[in-house]
Homo-oligomer: A and B are copies of this chain.
Amino acid sequence: MSTLDPSGYEAALLEVIGPWLSASHRCPVIGCGMVGSKQGWVEVPYLAAPCSPLGRPVDAPVSDPRIRVLVCPGIKQEAPPDVMRGEETQIAGLLALQPDFEGVVCLPGTHSKWVRVSAAVIQSFQTFLTGELFALLARESVLRHSVDVDGWDEDAFLKASAVGLAAPEAISAKLFSIRAESLLHQVSGASARSRLSGYLIAWELAATRPLWTDGEVAIIGATDLAEVYASGLRAAGASATVHPGETLTLAGLRGAYDRLELP
């Protein structure tokens, strides 16, 4: 999306799906996420929470007669102000596979979301910059000299996450210590990276504690990151199940497709 302007989406899509299209059938294509934002293919107005995760998709302008493109709406929340685009479709997918799901959904990522779902309705949600903060601190800040770009030390993560959750008001004092400790002592870059992750995820878990403190959390996301969140939550006494993000996205888009009134 960061490299396309609105007129470039159709060509980019056709490059991917062109070989499967036929001149005798107009193929519906369902999209969700930032493709429906102001900078996307077509701006789709937000639904307002509380609401069902699945809204009516909006047609995007296309010129190729072999496709019809429809984009699902995101969801906004007035107070506290928040927005999502794409995660609602994954939650629709979760509800398609587990229609009776009630509880809390965590969608870790660049902008992590925590969503309360009840009676098949998104009741409220909250977004955290955790993933973006991690990337900026690990790659752009003074911590970059101490933090490796990959590698993992589960013990270092769990220790940092526990320390952070026990005293969230003191997490800000821990970040520079990652740098200072590697100046004064031998600390592996993987361990420093895992500590940074532990402190930042603890910062998110501290704010969401009322949501997970006595219940099951459904984590939706890419396997590695979802497992890190699950590990932090379980160590804090919560129970967590991981659901693969791609499966749920496809189930959600399928649900939107099934509700279309097609000619």
Binding site for B on A (CB under 8 A): 76-78, 80-83, 111, 126-130, 132-133, 136-137, 140-143, 168-173, 175-177, 180-181, 183-185, 203-204, 206-209
Contact = CB atoms under 8 A, between A and B. Distances in A.
B136 A141 contact: yes
A140 B142 contact: no
Classify the interface of chain A: helix, strand, loop or mixed: helix
A137 to B, nearest CB: 7
A111 B142 CA distance: 9
> What is the count of identical protomers in the complex?
2
A180 B82 contact: yes
A162 B204 CA distance: 20
A133 B128 contact: no
Contacts of A83: 180, 183-184
Contact of A81 (B81, B137, B181): B181
Contact of A207 (B127, B170, B207): B170
A172 B130 contact: yes
Contacts of A81: 177, 180-181, 183-185
Contacts of A207: 169-173
Contact of A140 (B140, B169, B209): B140
